[in-house]
Structure 1
Amino acid sequence: MTFIAKNRLTRRSELYRLEPYMSEHGLMMVGGRLHREWAATHDGPILLPRDHPVTTGTLIVRETHAVHAEHSGREHTFSLLRQNFGIPKCRGLLDKISKACTVCRRNNWVSMHQREALLPADRTCPGKPAFAFTG
């Protein structure tokens, strides 16, 4: 956090592309091209760590997935999250949550293909020519 306050974020950091800044309330926010025009009326999305229990737990991502997006899919949930929060590598996190969600597993199941049995011997041995006996 002190790196962001002093504007010394390295280019190798995964936060560099998000252009984070510290808000007046001490929260790390996602910046961007609209930062100057937005600053007077809006705050950007709050930057949250990916592996924190508040982020991955039932408080933020799971609630957005289940309540606000109503299990509608990864991209819709991602767009709802990005309105208020900035979470690095969020798509992988949403994939992990949807795989663990019983409602999503029930709605998106893929039927298994059963292997067909072997043909009987009388169907595979050469014998009389085809159409020798008709009708």
Structure 2
Amino acid sequence: MNDRWMQGPQFLYMKEEDWPYTSRENYHAISEVVSVIPTSKFESWGKLLRVTAYVCRYMDALRGIKRENLALSSEVFQRAERVLYRHIQAESLLSELEFAASLRKVAKKTAQCSSIILSMKPYLNENGVMRSMSRINNAKWLNIYTRHPVILPDNNRATRLLIRHYHDKFRHIVVNEIRKKYFIPKLRQLLIRVRKHCFRCKMNVAKATPPEMAILPEVRVSAFTPPFSYSTVDYGGPFDIVHGRKIEKRWICLFTCLVTRAIHIEIAYTCSTDSFILCYRNFLCRRGTVRKMFSDRGTNFIGAEKLLKTT
């Protein structure tokens, strides 16, 4: 094993005056935090904001600013938001940013004359963030973000992450919530793109495809036949009834015509074969003979079929 790993560097055994000295003249400070954060590698606005807040706190530690609470406070998050705003504006709105900073005709010529940003009367606040001078400036009861919204471009990736964050948080009132704090051109078009890639929105607007209906059997479309010529039968219940001073169970024997959808109801005392035969005889006496009768595989129906075939 290397001796340097176990014993440390050799200059530590010498006097402090003999230690090697490295000049710091070549070191330079990072003016913007975002310059060390690749914003293109983030998939959510919350994670981008949180990482920027950690970097801001690390930069404060390098400057000698000590904090008792190591948790991220609201002040650190607000500072991270301002840093991201400046980075987004400097990346996509450079000419408009120069116009808002200098307010000279030269800077206005460098910007596009048809720019929507210039029509919003942009200006830079004390934090270097470009905001809009709206017409509701005198409404002091409103938030500063509502009176002077932050101007963000529509063609920046971080802006799309911000819109997706609001979309996941508020769903149906996204435009109202975003405009309380930001001014983004073509906001509704960006929201349409976000909804197209949102799985939950796809599920909400998806329409169920109805199944293809099968061809009706011949017994269902047999015209010019008496009612109940083609019938089905089934049981329903049991139902509790009061018989004297006792509570007994009764069933409904339901006969249905397959052509006219007419129904005939008989009362069955039990689920036995004899009880069904009694109901079937009453049905034949009232409705006439039946050409075909359909039922499920109940034991009372199977027993009645065997009994009717033998008689």
Report what 1:35 is aligned to: 137
Could you list the per-position Cα deviations for residues 11-64 of structure 1 after superposition, in whole angstroms to 9, with x for gaps in the alignment? 5221133222211111111221123555xx72411111112111112xx11111
Structure 1 residue runs of 5 or longer lacking an equivalent are: 118-132
- Percent sequence identity over aligned pairs: 24
**Contact 2:117–2:151, Cα closer than 8 Å, also in 1:** no
TM-score (norm 1): 0.68
Aligned length: 111
2:55 alignment counterpart: none
Amino acid at match of 1:89: K
**Per the alignment, in what secondary structure is the counterpart of residue 25 of structure 1?**
coil
Q: Structure 1 residues 78, 100: CA separation in 2 closer, same or farther (over 3 Å shift)?
A: same
CA distance in 2, matches of 1:49, 1:90: 10
**Out of 3, 17, 24, which is 2:126 matched to?**
24
Contact 2:154 2:187 in 1 (8 A): yes
Aligned residue number for residue 153 of structure 2: 49
Separation in structure 2 between the aligned mates of residue 102 and residue 78 of structure 1, nearest angstrom: 19
**Partners of 2:197 and 2:131 in 1: CA distance:** 29
- Contact kept? 2:123, 2:131, Cα under 8 Å: yes
Rg comparison, structure with higher value: 2
The DSSP-based 3-state class of the residue aligned with 1:12 is coil
Q: Distance in 2 between matches of 1:31 and 1:11?
A: 18
1:77 aligns to 2:174 (yes or no): yes
Following the alignment from structure 2 to structure 1, what is the Cα–Cα distance between the partners of residues 138 and 113?
22
Give the CA deviation at 1:85: 1.0
* Structure 2: runs of 5+ lacking an equivalent: 1-96, 215-222, 226-311
Q: In the alignment, what sits opposite 1:91?
A: 188
CA RMSD of superposed structures (Å): 2.7
C-alpha deviation, 1:66, in angstroms: 0.4
Tell me how far apart the structure 1 counterparts of residues 224 and 132 of structure 2 sit (CA, whole Å): 78
> Structure 2: how far apart are the matches of 1:23 and 1:104?
38
Q: What secondary structure does 1:55 align onto?
A: helix
Query: Alpha carbons of 1:7 and 1:77: their partners in 2 closer, same or farther (altered >3 Å)?
Result: farther
Query: Structure 1 or 2: larger strand share?
Result: 2
Q: Separation in 1 of the partners of 2:135 and 2:100?
A: 17
> Relative to structure 1, is the Cα distance of residues 15 and 4 closer, same or farther in structure 2, using a 3 angstrom cutoff?
same
Q: Kindly tell me: are residues 77 and 99 of structure 1, through their superposed partners in 2, closer, same or farther at Cα, counting changes over 3 Å?
A: same
Counterpart Cα distance in 2 of 1:47 and 1:63: 17
Runs of 4+ in 1 over 4 A off after TM superposition: 7-11, 112-117
Q: Kindly tell me: are residues 104 and 7 of structure 1, through their superposed partners in 2, closer, same or farther at Cα, counting changes over 3 Å?
A: farther
More helix by share: 2
111, 114, 135: which one pairs with 1:12?
Answer: 114
